[in-house]
């Protein structure tokens, strides 16, 4: 059967029909099928509950298709990440909005009998906070304080159902851009919206697109950076898994603006599910005619490919990423020329990250003014963050730019795990810096973060409690960067190696004060001289911990004892049996921590003692030793 060619009228008709189907979709069972919940067994829950429903003779269906249309059927959906990963696996029942947490396969029968058939709530599966049970997800503080715009469809829709995406105004922005706007207007709209790249540096997306548009005619590329390598970040993964069509639509609009007909999505190898979902989404978009030659009867063609990364962090850097797509070692090159002039296969290239593209359809559909109404003046819109570490509610969140850390960590995140005290939060991954108590009320946006030596980066927020040693944390990040250094430029290749040696020495209590100075001067040199962003930013964690947690470095270097790494400080004690009261220890103690009368056993005041060992080495009777 020859495929009917997609036209604008047909897409509108499809959308109208999809909307009717969606409106008639009265009962839904949503099972979170993000990586987190799948690891918790959510797919088994999906299978079991669906099978149980069918055994009971209930009608079920798995997509928004006309032939499956049955107003009473239970619509089973595998959704993208719902965000509340700490509480997973998650199961939601619509239209009541009931959210069940920590669901197990054994709970399926009770959910079927009580909720699906009986219309009652299974109390024990509800989220509970401070003795209050929350039957509906919208009322849970974790969700209530968020503004979910980009993530709106993640967790609410079936990630693999194109019809549902269309029913929720999907591809309407592309349609508008294709038929009603020229390339200049699209660039202007994106520029006016103030959308800045969500991948790190925060460069205005509209300006990037416009630069590519103004390049001489010829082959141009649109590339999506899905190489989300920052440890502790999974926003982009969640969007790729939960709302893949929004990325495709964003890239289509970018291609229209830039005059490109071919695009690539570069996805980390560690995200197999994201690759699957994107592949499915591309296949479905091609089948419908949203991707391919002469789309909807216009002269615009666009083909989209997926490239899988092979485990090199540096490929998140623009020129390394394009080298990797070309089948080469992913090593950055000297810039300029920039990617906009000299990108993939030396052609002008629009390169943005996943979240940036996912914002684009919303801006085109709802307008630049709407986007500007969210966030701050210079950082408009929202930002998705992955909230992890020693925080109560780990998960994926989205808040307006300018939200404070306090709101994120304490109101949404529920504070620090196990009632401990907050110490610091690492923002922006290994290229970012750590922020402390004093920054809790600072608005999170591109510029204020930059002013304190951190970056939004891709948006990982790793919370650390009072038990975390910041020197060890700095060493951890340095070992990551050192391992991922591509080796092309000397400052990064050699510099990070030496920095790691010094930091390891300090962590092992073998460092000296000169090491601290050396760390500072090496940091400055590497930041100045490294070839790419990875190297330039490699020292940020060291710089910021040296600035805000110098006392912890001193604990390792001077005291040779870190309360976090080495446990409770062991003091030195004088054995009264062996001590003759000669007073040599008292005279040699630089802290005046030793007291006693001549010819009587002396004692050491542990609070004053810095464990320098001067007393121990000067005692002629071997009476001084470490506390048992």
Helix (H) or strand (E) holding 248: helix 244-258
Candidates 68, 169, 192, 270; binder of other proteins (CB under 8 A) is 270
Burial of residue 338 (CB within 10 Å: 0-12, 13-18, 19+) is: middle
Candidates 171, 221, 313, 553; binder of other proteins (CB under 8 A) is 313
Candidates 25, 28, 86, 552; binder of other proteins (CB under 8 A) is 86
Cα separation of the two ends of the chain: 85
Binders of other proteins in range 550-569 (CB under 8 A): none
Q: Looking at the chain, how many residues does it have?
A: 628
Closest approach of other proteins to the CB of residue 482, in Å: 12
Query: Which single residue is written with the structure tokens 């320098």?
Result: 612
CA separation (Å) from 99 to 61, 93, 168, 387? Answer: 20, 7, 22, 20
Closest approach of other proteins to the CB of residue 231, in Å: 3
Q: How far apart are CA 598 and CA 398, in angstroms?
A: 69
Candidates 24, 129, 132, 310; binder of other proteins (CB under 8 A) is 310
Closest approach of other proteins to the CB of residue 170, in Å: 25
Candidates 390, 485, 496, 523; binder of other proteins (CB under 8 A) is 390
CA dihedral defined by 352, 426, 531, 199, rounded to 10 degrees? 0
Candidates 231, 415, 443, 571; binder of other proteins (CB under 8 A) is 231
Candidates 225, 243, 260, 324; binder of other proteins (CB under 8 A) is 324
**Is residue 229 close enough to count as binding other proteins by CB under 8 A?**
yes
**Is residue 503 close enough to count as binding other proteins by CB under 8 A?**
no
Closest approach of other proteins to the CB of residue 189, in Å: 32
Candidates 395, 413, 433, 495; binder of other proteins (CB under 8 A) is 395
Closest approach of other proteins to the CB of residue 472, in Å: 9
Edge to edge, the sheet with strand 74-79 lists 60-61, 74-79, 27-32, 91-94, 98-100
C-alpha triplet 453, 457, 462: angle, nearest 5°: 85
Closest approach of other proteins to the CB of residue 308, in Å: 6
3-state SS assignment for residue 436: strand
Candidates 200, 316, 429, 511; binder of other proteins (CB under 8 A) is 429
Candidates 66, 124, 328, 570; binder of other proteins (CB under 8 A) is 328
CB-nearer residue toward other proteins: 429 or 533: 429
Q: How far apart are CA 569 and CA 145, in angstroms?
A: 42
Q: Are 172 and 165 in contact (CB under 8 A)?
A: no
**Is residue 476 close enough to count as binding other proteins by CB under 8 A?**
yes
Contact stretch for other proteins (CB under 8 A) within 305-313, 398-406, 440-448, 612-620: 305-313
Candidates 79, 115, 153, 307; binder of other proteins (CB under 8 A) is 307
CB-nearer residue toward other proteins: 162 or 233: 233
Identify the sign of the CA torsion 336, 342, 348, 352.
negative
**Is residue 613 close enough to count as binding other proteins by CB under 8 A?**
no
CA separation (Å) from 111 to 24, 34, 135, 252, 433? Answer: 23, 21, 14, 42, 45
Radius of gyration of the chain, Cα coordinates, nearest whole angstrom: 29
Strand-pairing partners, residue 391, are 416
Edge to edge, the sheet with strand 460-465 lists 395-400, 382-389, 460-465, 422-427, 433-436
Residues 456-475: x/- map of binding to other proteins (CB under 8 A)? ----x-x-x---x----x--
Candidates 57, 216, 327, 590; binder of other proteins (CB under 8 A) is 327
**Is residue 486 close enough to count as binding other proteins by CB under 8 A?**
yes
**Is residue 80 close enough to count as binding other proteins by CB under 8 A?**
no
**Is residue 127 close enough to count as binding other proteins by CB under 8 A?**
no
Closest approach of other proteins to the CB of residue 547, in Å: 19
Query: Which single residue is written with the structure tokens 């047909």?
Result: 10
CB-nearer residue toward other proteins: 229 or 400: 229
CB-nearer residue toward other proteins: 375 or 432: 432
Closest approach of other proteins to the CB of residue 534, in Å: 13
CB-nearer residue toward other proteins: 40 or 375: 40
Helix (H) or strand (E) holding 381: none
Closest approach of other proteins to the CB of residue 234, in Å: 4
Q: How far apart are CA 300 and CA 305, in angstroms?
A: 17
DSSP string, 544-568: HHHHH-HHHHHHHHTSS--TTTS-S
Strand-pairing partners, residue 399, are 383
Torsion angles phi and psi, residue 274, rounded to 5:
-65, -40
Six-digit token pair at 126?
């509800």
Six-digit token pair at 413?
């995140």
**Is residue 394 close enough to count as binding other proteins by CB under 8 A?**
yes
Report which DSSP code applies to 4: P
Closest approach of other proteins to the CB of residue 395, in Å: 6
Candidates 107, 164, 228, 262; binder of other proteins (CB under 8 A) is 228
Report which DSSP code applies to 114: I
**Is residue 329 close enough to count as binding other proteins by CB under 8 A?**
yes
Binders of other proteins in range 32-71 (CB under 8 A): 35-36, 38-40
**Is residue 233 close enough to count as binding other proteins by CB under 8 A?**
yes
CB-nearer residue toward other proteins: 189 or 484: 484
Helix (H) or strand (E) holding 8: helix 8-24
- In 254-389 the beta strands, taken as DSSP E runs, fall at 262-267, 303-308, 349-353, 382-389
Binding residues for other proteins, per CB under 8 A?
Answer: 35-36, 38-40, 85-86, 88, 228-234, 237, 269-272, 307-313, 324-331, 386, 388-390, 394-396, 426, 429, 460, 462, 464, 468, 473, 476-477, 480, 483-484, 486
């Amino acid at each position: 059967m020859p495929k009917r060619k997609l036209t604008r009228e047909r897409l509108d008709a499809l959308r109208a029909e999809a909307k009717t189907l969606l409106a008639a979709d009265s009962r839904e069972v949503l099972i979170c099928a993000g990586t987190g919940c799948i690891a918790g067994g959510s797919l088994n829950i999906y299978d079991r509950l669906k099978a149980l429903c069918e055994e009971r003779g209930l009608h079920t269906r798995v997509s928004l298709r006309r032939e499956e249309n049955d107003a009473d059927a239970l619509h089973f959906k595998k959704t993208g990440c719902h965000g509340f990963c700490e509480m997973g696996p998650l199961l939601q029942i619509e239209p009541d909005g009931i959210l069940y947490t920590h669901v197990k396969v054994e709970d399926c029968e009770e959910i079927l009998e009580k909720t699906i058939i009986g219309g009652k709530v299974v109390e024990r599966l509800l989220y509970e906070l401070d003795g209050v049970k929350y039957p509906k997800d919208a009322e849970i503080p974790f969700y209530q304080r968020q503004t979910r715009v980009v993530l709106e469809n993640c967790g609410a829709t079936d990630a693999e159902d194109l019809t549902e995406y269309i029913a929720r105004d999907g591809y309407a922005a592309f349609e508008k851009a294709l038929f009603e706007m020229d390339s200049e207007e699209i660039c202007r709209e994106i520029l006016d919206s103030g959308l800045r790249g969500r991948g790190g540096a925060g460069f205005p997306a509209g300006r990037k697109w416009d630069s590519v548009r103004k390049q001489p005619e010829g082959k141009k590329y649109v590339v999506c950076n899905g190489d989300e390598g920052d440890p502790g970040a999974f926003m982009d993964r969640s969007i790729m898994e939960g709302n893949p069509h929004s990325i495709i639509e964003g890239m289509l609009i970018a291609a229209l603006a830039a005059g490109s007909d071919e695009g690539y999505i570069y996805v980390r190898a560690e995200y197999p599910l994201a690759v699957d979902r994107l592949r499915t989404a591309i296949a479905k978009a091609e089948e419908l005619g949203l991707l391919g030659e002469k789309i909807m009867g216009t002269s615009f063609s666009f083909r989209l490919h997926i490239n899988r990364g092979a485990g090199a962090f540096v490929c998140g850097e623009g020129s390394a990423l394009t080298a990797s797509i070309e089948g080469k070692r992913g090593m950055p090159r000297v810039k300029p020329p920039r990617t906009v002039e000299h990108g993939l296969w030396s052609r002008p290239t629009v390169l943005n990250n996943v979240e940036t593209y996912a914002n684009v359809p919303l801006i085109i559909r709802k307008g630049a003014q709407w986007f500007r109404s969210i966030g701050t003046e210079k950082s408009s819109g929202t930002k998705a963050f992955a909230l992890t570490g020693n925080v109560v509610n780990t998960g994926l969140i989205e808040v307006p730019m300018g939200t404070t850390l306090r709101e994120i960590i304490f109101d949404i995140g529920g504070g620090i795990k196990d009632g401990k005290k907050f110490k610091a939060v690492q923002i922006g991954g290994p290229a970012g810096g750590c922020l402390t108590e004093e920054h809790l009320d600072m608005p999170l946006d591109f510029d204020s973060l930059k002013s304190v030596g951190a970056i939004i980066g891709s948006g990982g927020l790793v919370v650390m409690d009072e038990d975390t040693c910041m020197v060890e944390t700095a060493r951890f990040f340095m070992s990551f960067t050192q391992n991922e250094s591509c080796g092309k430029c000397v400052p990064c290749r050699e510099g990070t190696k030496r920095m790691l040696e010094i930091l390891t020495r300090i962590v092992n209590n073998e460092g000296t004060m000169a090491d601290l100075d050396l760390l500072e001067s090496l940091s400055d040199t590497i930041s100045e001289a490294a070839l790419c962003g990875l190297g330039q930013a490699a020292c940020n964690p060291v710089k910021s911990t040296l600035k805000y947690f110098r006392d912890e470095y001193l604990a390792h270097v001077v005291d040779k004892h870190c309360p976090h790494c080495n446990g409770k400080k062991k003091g030195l004690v004088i054995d009264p049996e062996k001590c003759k009261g000669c007073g040599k220890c008292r005279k040699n103690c630089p802290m005046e921590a030793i007291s006693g009368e001549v010819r009587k056993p002396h004692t050491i005041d542990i609070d004053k003692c810095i464990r320098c060992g001067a007393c121990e080495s000067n005692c002629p009777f071997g009476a001084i030793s470490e506390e048992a």
